[in-house]
Amino acid sequence: MDNQQEQKTTPLLRLGFRPFFLFGSLFATLSMALWLLTLKGVISIEPLNGMLWWHSHEMLFGFTAAIIAGFLLTAVQTWTNIPSIKGGQLLLLLSLWGFARLLILSGSTSMLPLAMIADLMFLPLTAFFVGQRVVRIRQYRNLIFIPVLVLMSVMNLFTYLPSLGFDAAWQSRGIQGMTLLVTFLVAFLGGRVIPMFTANGTKTTKVLPIMWLEMSALASLVVVLVLLLLKDVADIAMLTGIVCLTAAVIHTIRQWRWRIWVTLNVPLVWSLHFTMLFIPIGLLLLSLHFFGASITLSTAIHSLTVGVIGGMILAMMSRVSLGHTGRMLQVGKLMSAAFIAVVISAIVRSIAVAVWPQWTIQFWVLAGCLWCVAFGLFFFKYLPVLSAPRVDGRPG
């Protein structure tokens, strides 16, 4: 698409990050608000498969999947120098995502087949748009994202199996599997970019990777994923606890090398470091759960969903949105407050609940409110950024 055609496309549909970051952040805010209002009995809604299923499913396969799609559809253009989807194709993919969200929220059982089809098509279609560009120039190092997206689609299918008459455990397998897959993706991308962003943002020397440590960190998450999927069919609690604890130590060493302490004056960098800390924290909580401590699996998993996934999404959306609209990589007080809010939300939802379980509901509400503040601030701050042309006049 030449520059003249680009100018005819509304700015919001010129590159994948624009609509998916904007509507994804809005969805993250509104869906959490709906969950909190239902939890407190203020409103009563019955989405497909019930409110608990809706909350866990939509935060991962609605919100998180949208941001992953927006990021990869944008990154693939940078990786390959081949224009990514925009205009009508991008609107079609966005509409498919939105259609699935509405069908699931409607709660109509008769809509289950259509909701499933729309929802389960989204990530494979994203994988197709990304994969065809990577394969075209034989850039095979970035093909890792394609099997990950396919596995995420399988996990999504798992969550629907109980409504089709299969065992209820498939739903938790899908949720926990998706959580670990996204955590793996965060760990993989974090290793690629955080040392570089730290060096550039703080004007210090880049920390070079130690290959065995990098491979061990990623492999440990794959093993944890497999063990979580098998926990209902085998007595492997002690083994899972040992593996989670070992993985926590490996990730702590890996992240210590990245020198979080030099980044404290650079919000776009420290936000990445702090969110990565929740990988070892979440793994430690998982190990304590499987060792028999009074920490629920849900509490440990939320350390990863809120801290790792939510925190990384907020930090990367902020950075990518600035960079790909031609702006300086700097944020003001509002986004710094948003970064702090999501970190505190993760601490409250996981660590505080683990230490003071008698205040669980109150902590859930506080963490949810902080989440709404964080992503509401992003939507408010970046609406004019994402819906306007690049400030430097370049395509995108």
Separation of alpha carbons 270 and 273, rounded Å: 5
**Token pair of 337 as six digits:** 């407050």
Can you give the pLDDT at residue 5?
62
> What pLDDT score was predicted for residue 10?
93
Range list of H helices, the chain: 3-8, 17-39, 51-57, 65-80, 87-106, 112-136, 145-160, 169-202, 211-230, 237-256, 267-290, 297-302, 311-323, 333-346, 353-355, 360-386
- Report yes or no: 26 and 97 within 8 Å, Cβ to Cβ: no
What span, in angstroms and rounded, lies between the C-alpha atoms of 114 and 116? 5
Q: 110-114, 317-321, 378-382 — which is least confidently predicted? A: 110-114
**What's residue 392's pLDDT?**
85
pLDDT interval class at 1 (50, 70, 90): very low
What are the start-end ranges of the E strands in 146-221?
none
CA pair distance 311, 309, nearest whole angstrom: 6
pLDDT band at 110 (very low <50, low <70, confident <90, very high): confident
Lowest-pLDDT choice from 44-48, 343-347, 350-354: 44-48
Map tokens 């299918």 to a residue. 157
Could you tell me which residue, 178 or 232, shows the higher pLDDT? Answer: 178
Examine the pLDDT at 179 and tell me if it is beyond 90.
yes
User: Rounded CA gap, 268 and 275, in Å?
Assistant: 11
Evaluate if residue 395 carries a pLDDT over 80: no
For the residues 122-140, what does the mean pLDDT come to? 93
Q: How far apart are CA 266 and CA 278, in angstroms?
A: 19
**What's the rounded Cα separation, in Å, for the pair 291 and 286?**
9
Q: Which amino acid is at 322?
A: L
pLDDT in tens, 237-288: 999 999 999 999 999 999 999 999 999 999 999 999 999 999 999 999 999 9
Global confidence as pTM = 0.95
Does pLDDT of 3 surpass 70? Answer: no
User: Which has the closest alpha carbon to 321: 103, 31, 41, 14?
Assistant: 14
3-state helix vs strand vs coil in the chain, percent to 5? 80, 0, 20
Distance of alpha carbon 396 from alpha carbon 11, whole angstroms? 8
Nearest 5 degrees, angle CA 154-CA 166-CA 306?
50
Average pLDDT (144-167) is 95
Please tell me the distance from the alpha carbon of residue 310 to that of residue 64, in angstroms, as a whole number. 8
**Whole-number pLDDT of residue 108:** 78
pLDDT at 396: 73
Average pLDDT over residues 198-225: 96
| Per-chain mean pLDDT for the chain | 94
Contact 221, 243 (CB under 8 A): no
pLDDT reading at 2 higher than 60? no
pLDDT at residue number 9: 86
The share of the chain scoring above pLDDT 90, in percent, equals 90
